[in-house]
Amino acid sequence: MKQYSTKDIRNVVLIGSSKSGKTTLSEAMLFEGKVIDRRGSVEDKNTVSDNTEFEQTNQKSINATPLYAELNGTKINIIDAPGSDDFSGGALSAFKVVESAVMVMNGTAGIEVGTTLFARYADQYGIPMIIAVNQMDHEKANWEGVRTALNEEFGKKAILCQFPVTPGPGLQGFVDVITMKFYDTKNQEQDIPAAYADEAETLRAELMEKAAEGSDELMEKFFETMELTTDEIRAGLRAGIAKGETIPVFCVSAKNNVGVRRLMEFLVNVAPTPEGTVQKTIDGNEVVCKPNGPVSIFIYKTAVEQHLGEVSYFKVMSGTLNEGADLVNPETGNGERLSAIYAVAGAKKEKVSSISAGDIGCAMKLKAGKTDVTLAQSGQEAITHMVFPDYKYRCAVKAMDKNDEAKVGDALNKIASQDATIHVEYSKELRQTILSGMGEQHINYVKWRVNNEFKLNIELYAPKVPYRETITKIATAQYRHKKQSGGAGQFGEVHLLVCPYVEGEEAPKNFKIDGKDTVLNIKTSDISDLEWGGKLEFYNCVVGGAIDLSFMPAILKGIKSKMEEGPLTGSYARDIRVYVYDGKMHPVDSKEIAFIIAGRNAFKEAFRNAGPKILEPIYNVDIITPNEYVGPCMSDLNTRRGMIMNQDMDKGFTVLHARVPLAELYRYSTILSSLTGGSATFSMKFAEYTQVPADVQTKLLAEYAAQEQEED
């Protein structure tokens, strides 16, 4: 395979809703680009993309598959991304290494929630779009409905470059208003039929006006002559696309390979090139994509592939990468030799001697080359890391066979290292391994991989909720620890007072203790920001040497140990002020352990008498739903103790902004999909801890008491 210069490379990602035809389009592009000599189909399970067992069985894309095609001396790198939000990490990873996206739209359905979702992602990540309206020969093709929907969704940004002639089963072809030619279903170029000449002229005028907005020079010429050449239109569109102000619209039938070549010609002639693009480094500097610069590659994806092992997919961000290159991870200093490098078309890997800046390739079995890692010549800086949305689905996971726990942990960590939208952690607080992802389908795919690739059986179940405990009023307690066992004894007595910590409020000193007004003068203090959130303020107010200063750290240690296992439900305690104001010690038997135990038990008793409350995590939840499902979504949120804060409109969809307890969000992605026929999506982000309602607290206390009794 030949080496392509940077200016002759185009990097695009295919995005859009599930069932819009992205994989079928990629197959047609590979056929047109001479990479394959026979087109496969999703139904026959023989496409170059969707080449894993899970994808073929379920007939849906799970992974973002890198591919390539060649047309007119230009290499088009294509990343076929999944259409489900559960697997959106593939598209978001691809955004790091492409210069444009082709939004594939279902011509029978128009704007779907996936269209809006991925368009929003593309806008957020600064990736310009080109739209390909697919299935124009389907019996339910609705071109006029699509045009209306495009206008409502994208406004004047969307500009028609083509329109179909007799859309539906009788599709005759497409009129292209850039070339002002008609292309039939055999992709043969003809003159525009007379019946469509007026419409073509009208759309051509609109196209020229839109192209003229690309630069002042084009605008000036257009106003003078009211005409632009085809090359000038392309130049104007290229500028508009790069600025995100223009979204060209094309028509295709990917299944029958109609219009695909014209779309590819547009990508070659107009789509942005990687040449001269800039990537920021983590130190705030820039890496410019040019073939004669220092070598820097960014690994956007890793995967374990049958018979190959771990494969690292990368883009050459700068320089020319040669096989055998010695590179370094700038963040760790670990070196890596790329003994062999490959061009990629799905499972097909073709060995090459070098890859130019802007091109995409892969290498195998790298030690330092993991997802989201930069490898570069010594002295170069790491490129900024990829950014992903917060997780939407969490569950607990455990091995069905306890003897497999370590193996399961290793398997999950390997999967997470390949997919940045999967997170695995062992929660010391919950005593559970928590698996987080983008949705239930996503998590079930992880389970499938553990079962089938690693031959291990796991169970997924509802995770515990990380509650917090705190107090609402003042209380005192004292505890004496005395132990005599024949030899040296243990003795320690602690009197303490607890009260709520309130941010911004100075620590009070006047209290009523045992019915008497008492002033506690602070001798020493220890103020801690707790690792699980909140504060602990510890004050030594002992007078007269009742407890030696050297025992204060032991008392604090005992208090902190009990805060890690709160008295109410075993959850972390937070936001408490503790005053140690009296106690006793023994000249011989007082030891550190005695005051740890005394401090722990005195705190426990005082906590229980201080109006203890359980706090629960509250999340900000934003639901994007078609208007007809607003009622069911709001009703469901009410059953989850959700509070709807406000709502607004976003391009024809309603956005509900709500605050919902985490305890009520288990499997919410699945429920929302069921409520709305899969047309709604949501995001969630931690907001704060608030007190649980009284009935919920009573239930939690009863459950914890029953659990303790069972353990005893």
The tens digit of pLDDT for each residue in 564-574 reads 998 889 899 99
Across the strands, what pairs with 345?
A: 348
Distance, CA of 607 to CA of 562 (rounded, Å) = 10
Structure tokens at 606: 């005082």
Domain 278-368 has CATH 2.40.128.110: no
For residue 486, the model assigns a pLDDT of: 64
**Is the alpha carbon torsion for 511, 516, 522, 524 positive or negative?**
negative
8 Å CB contact between 656 and 682: no
Q: Are 482 and 490 in contact (CB under 8 A)?
A: yes
Q: In what order do the strands lie in the sheet with 247-251?
A: 65-71, 74-80, 9-15, 100-106, 129-134, 247-251, 158-160
> 652: closest CA among 111, 85, 18?
111
Q: Are 453 and 418 in contact (CB under 8 A)?
A: no
Q: Which CATH number applies to 7-190+246-269?
A: 3.40.50.300
Q: In Å, how far are 70, 172, 343, 692 from 1, measured between CA atoms?
A: 11, 37, 8, 64
CA distance 469 to 615: 6
Categorize the per-residue pLDDT at 74 as very low, low, confident or very high, splitting at 50, 70 and 90: very high
pLDDT bin (cut points 50, 70, 90) of residue 711 is low
Split at pLDDT 50, 70, 90, the class of 307 is confident
Give 399's strand partners: 458
Flag whether pLDDT at 271 surpasses 90. yes
**C-alpha angle 523-524-526 in degrees, rounded to nearest 5:** 150
CA distances from 114 to 5, 410, 626, 664 (A): 35, 34, 12, 25
Chain length of the chain? 712
Q: What is the mean pLDDT of residues 320-346?
A: 94
pLDDT band at 246 (very low <50, low <70, confident <90, very high): very high
In this structure, of 255-264, 363-372, 517-526, the range with the lowest mean pLDDT score is 363-372
**Domain extent listing, the chain:** 7-190+246-269, 278-368, 393-464, 469-611, 614-695
- pLDDT of 319 > 60? The answer is yes
**Residue % of the chain over a pLDDT of 70:** 99
430-440: buried (b, 16+ CB within 10 Å) or exposed (e) per residue?
A: bebbbbbbbbb
Beta bridge partners of 251: 133
pTM: predicted TM-score of the whole model, two decimal places: 0.86
* Rg of the chain over all Cα atoms, to the nearest angstrom: 32
What distance in Å separates the CA atoms of residue 244 and residue 226, rounded to the nearest whole number?
24
Exposed/middle/buried for 553, CB within 10 Å: 0-12, 13-18, 19+? Answer: middle
Residues 612 and 255: their CA atoms lie apart, in Å, by 65
Give the pLDDT mean for 147-163.
94
| Residue 672: HSE in the Cβ half-sphere, 13 Å Cα cutoff | 30
Judge whether residue 663 has pLDDT over 60: yes
Q: Rounded to an integer, what distance in angstroms lies between the CA atom of residue 234 and that of residue 483? A: 89
Look at residue 264 and give its three-state secondary structure.
Answer: helix
CB–CB of 171/136 below 8 Å? yes
Can you give the pLDDT at residue 198?
96
426-484 pLDDT, tens digit each: 998 899 999 999 999 999 999 999 999 999 999 999 999 999 999 999 999 999 999 87
CATH homologous superfamily for the domain 393-464:
Elongation Factor G (Translational Gtpase), domain 3 (3.30.70.870)
CATH value of 614-695 in 1.10.8.60, 3.30.70.240, 3.40.640.10, 3.30.460.20: 3.30.70.240
* Dihedral over Cα of 565, 567, 568, 572: its sign: negative
What integer pLDDT is reported at residue 48 of this predicted model? Answer: 85
Cα(614)–Cα(698) distance, rounded to whole angstroms?
10
Residues 6+ apart with CB under 8 A from 389: 88, 92, 421, 438, 683
B/e letters for 296-332, b = 16+ CB within 10 Å, e = fewer, are bbbbbbbbeeeeeebbbbbbbbbbbbebebebbbbee
Q: What is the CATH number of domain 469-611?
A: 3.30.230.10
Q: Do 671 and 621 form a contact (C-beta atoms < 8 A)?
A: no
Residue 245's CB is within 10 A of a number of other CB atoms, namely 14
Q: pLDDT band for 51, please (50, 70, 90 cuts).
A: confident
The angle at the Cα of 344, spanning 343 to 349, to the nearest 5 degrees, equals 80
> How confident is the model over 160-189, as a mean pLDDT?
95
| Strands 100-106 and 129-134, bridge-based pairing | parallel
- At residue 45, the pLDDT reads 84
Least confident stretch, 60-69, 126-135, 492-501:
60-69
**pLDDT per residue as tens digits for the range 590-635:** 999 999 999 999 999 999 999 999 999 999 999 988 889 999 999 9
Q: Would you place residue 712 in the very low, low, confident or very high pLDDT band (cuts 50, 70, 90)?
A: low
List the 475-483 sheet strands across, edge first.
475-483, 490-500, 576-584, 535-540, 524-529
Query: CATH topology of 393-464 equal to that of 614-695?
Result: yes
Secondary structure of residue 549 in the 3-state scheme: helix
Residue type, 326: D
Average pLDDT over the chain reads 93
Range in 19-28, 37-46, 167-176, 570-579 with the lowest mean pLDDT: 37-46
Instruction: For residue range 482-504, list pLDDT tens digits in order.
Output: 987 666 789 999 999 999 999 88
Helix, strand or coil for residue 214? coil
Residue 67 has pLDDT above 90, yes or no: yes
